[in-house]
Structure 1
């Protein structure tokens, strides 16, 4: 039988990423292999940092692959040059210019980025690590994240400034063909879409949304001729509803949290009344109020969106998922109180919200979620792990030290997240020993309701703060130290951030030490969330229940941890109340869980012994001592 020609199937050419091309260029330019491994490759996904000889071998193989492709697909002159170099030296000797020609001739070897590719395959390790830590694992995730957040998407990712964001977005758009998804046209670092200071007219026809500080209303819906306007002399100079609302909010100047909450509720109502109902705020009726109460339970899609800057054109008044029943109840009560004030100052004739009942909510047996407090064993392990990270080098080490200081402020002193972010060095005082009272660090805290209290700060927390201050280049013991106790080490290069941290315009170092401001509440929450994710990744020997407990830990859960541990240590309730800043002692008694655990343990031992007592005495038999039917004795105590 004659031999038949068989088709030979060749394997596809090996492909390389942009990062690997950059590494080869660095190698050709004489950069040491160890430094290339640190600059271009992630130590968590490649072994090159520990074994640079593997990287050297890989780069030689990559060079030879590209040279062969260049010989096959390049110009005859380039091919002859490469063959001559191989014949003379055993392998092609490439200079910077010849490498560039080889790359151009070997375009077929370049891998096309795909949506399911990990970001570490195409982006620098530093950027990839921060993207991954923010939950962005693939290029498709990155595109979706940018489209969801808009032009300021990079603000949510540490170490991604506007310049890097612009380069990343441009690169993603160039590869839309292979990615299959593209960054939206309005995602640009030139956001906000409306220039700062410009007002946006809220008209039903346009559907454009804007926060209260940028809001303008058409004359017909401004409330200048609202049907509920008071006919007698008003106490405020308000021409329309926006003026009246701003006058009300001005009464809460200095109460940042309270004022922010009322701004949120009133701007939501005004946007809904204008865009959905087509009625002015001063013309709302009871029927309108009932309709808005129903709207709170299920906001329209056009009103919802992920959290972004209030100056962004993608800002929306509601978060995805709507409001909880407790939040709906709070909104109705806040609006009712605002309308009461508008009636008192004789801007409105009456308050239609008085006829609207609060949304029905579940009566909670235990309002504070103290079950989220960490058990003493788990909290101890967390503290030990945080202490072990104190000596870490590099930017991650500084972040660990900042996280440790923040977590101990909440877990050892019972501070709220806003209190921990706002405290400054002058509020921390060292008191020497006084008789039987040991030396103590006390921190002055201005908490909810502008109530002042003093809380103890542990020596471990002080050590963590001192290490964090050394990272910031500050002297913790300086008599004139006035900086925040905890502050970010890296400041974005934006004008707003530089003004916040008191940096001069001619200072270009993004790592300049902050002097005037610390973490925002949102930034402190982000640092806490990062630390919890890292703990879950490193504490691999946790039980399943411990992992679940740690995974649902929030900043407020650390405050509850202090409360439960203080009560378990028999600290008097009135002392715990003062430290926690509770207005009522009844709130503090929620932490009295030790007695409940003891009751359950005693009852468990009692019920487990029931069968044994029945077998030993016999059901219904008479006791020789009492002549009574044997039965379990339950103490009245």
Structure 2
């Protein structure tokens, strides 16, 4: 027992409003399931805070009376619980969107609450692998598993992530009818947005090697990448493959499957790729998201310079 009060139950009218807002975000803005779950947690935390703050379950009238002071109190409470500035910024953004949506439907002025600002935070730079590290990763993976087809599968998946810049969910979401891969692969990414991703011959060859060894038949509506028992390969297993390989190679914990996507972007930028093209290949909605890779490239060049000129 820590003495903290039990959170008040969510009022039915607010539970219904939250469900309808989440449905709206999913339908009209194309939010992913992951984002919807995050938003749901954000709003439940906010409504629970309001219930505790006012001593009664939050209602539409509670939202109508919100001020900047209330929003600052919520932000302070969340930071006090250890929420990072970045997570708090997203939580406040979701909260303001919900309040704006409620104000449109219930006809109240939410300008005081919406005037509150989220915390500033420094976007952390991605941690890509160097080209030679990525190559060593594939070499190690090719000899890791006693089952040859599983090793070939793992190499094919990691090659797709590095060579095409796919998200792990996008790679594992491919089905049999996506094979054979053409010059460009149509990927449905976050929010259901489609993009065209060029496919390198190396990636196509790696998948062909895997399919040649795979004991399971390739079915049009079945998974392209299968687990040991024939089901769709899970992200957890791929993360385990990366963890095992990075331990052998002495790579940092940041060497995750997603780091291969970062590597794709930074290696393309270093080779002269322009940001707009990289944005399209990665499926970023905003160019500002892609621009973070210019910081990675600058940091890499500075590290090389300092290594060559220790007194600099």
Q: For residue 344 of structure 1, report the CA deviation from its aligned partner.
A: 0.7
Q: What is aligned with 1:293?
A: 75
1:482 aligns with 2:242: no
- Unpaired stretches in structure 2, ≥5 consecutive residues: none
Q: What is aligned with 2:105?
A: 345
**Secondary structure of residue in 1 paired with 2:26:** coil
1:243 aligns with 2:25: no
For residues 267 and 486 of structure 1, do their structure 2 counterparts lie closer, same or farther at Cα, with a shift above 3 Å needed?
Answer: farther
Structure 2 distance, partners of 1:344, 1:584, is: 27
**Secondary structure of residue in 1 paired with 2:25:** coil
Q: What is aligned with 2:42?
A: 265
Structure 1 distance, partners of 2:76, 2:194, is: 39
Higher RCO, Cα 8 Å, sep 6+: 2
For residues 561 and 276 of structure 1, do their structure 2 counterparts lie closer, same or farther at Cα, with a shift above 3 Å needed?
Answer: same
Identify which of 182, 193, 203 aligns with 1:451: 193
Q: For residue 532 of structure 1, report the CA deviation from its aligned partner.
A: 2.8
Q: What is aligned with 2:270?
A: 568
Q: What is aligned with 2:157?
A: 406
Map residues 30-109 of structure 1 onto 2, 5 A cutoff: none
Structure 2 distance, partners of 1:599, 1:334, is: 37
Asked if the contact 1:373–1:558 (Cα under 8 Å) also holds between the matched residues in 2, the reply is yes
TM-score (norm 1): 0.41
**Secondary structure of residue in 2 paired with 1:241:** helix
Structure 1 distance, partners of 2:159, 2:96, is: 39
Q: What is aligned with 1:278?
A: 55
CA displacement, residues 214-256 of structure 1 (integer Å, 9 cap, x when unaligned): xx64xxxx2xxxxxxxxxxxxxxxx711111111111133532
Structure 1 distance, partners of 2:87, 2:172, is: 24
1:473 aligns with 2:213: no
For residues 398 and 597 of structure 1, do their structure 2 counterparts lie closer, same or farther at Cα, with a shift above 3 Å needed?
Answer: closer
1:381 aligns with 2:136: yes
Identify which of 409, 424, 431 aligns with 2:175: 424
**Secondary structure of residue in 2 paired with 1:443:** strand
Q: What is aligned with 2:204?
A: 462
Structure 1 distance, partners of 2:309, 2:110, is: 63
**Secondary structure of residue in 2 paired with 1:484:** coil
Q: For residue 373 of structure 1, report the CA deviation from its aligned partner.
A: 0.6
Q: What is aligned with 2:25?
A: 252
Number of aligned residue pairs: give it: 298
Structure 2 distance, partners of 1:599, 1:414, is: 25
Structure 1 distance, partners of 2:73, 2:292, is: 37
Structure 1 distance, partners of 2:298, 2:53, is: 53
Give the superposed CA RMSD.
3.6
Q: What is aligned with 2:240?
A: 530
**Secondary structure of residue in 2 paired with 1:295:** helix
Q: What is aligned with 2:256?
A: 554
Asked if the contact 1:252–1:258 (Cα under 8 Å) also holds between the matched residues in 2, the reply is no
Asked if the contact 2:26–2:36 (Cα under 8 Å) also holds between the matched residues in 1, the reply is yes
Q: What is aligned with 2:91?
A: 331
Asked if the contact 2:143–2:151 (Cα under 8 Å) also holds between the matched residues in 1, the reply is no
- Unpaired stretches in structure 1, ≥5 consecutive residues: 1-203, 210-215, 223-238, 300-321, 432-439, 490-510, 540-546, 611-637
For residues 604 and 288 of structure 1, do their structure 2 counterparts lie closer, same or farther at Cα, with a shift above 3 Å needed?
Answer: closer
Q: What is aligned with 1:369?
A: 125
Q: For residue 607 of structure 1, report the CA deviation from its aligned partner.
A: 9.5
Flag the structure with higher helix content. 2
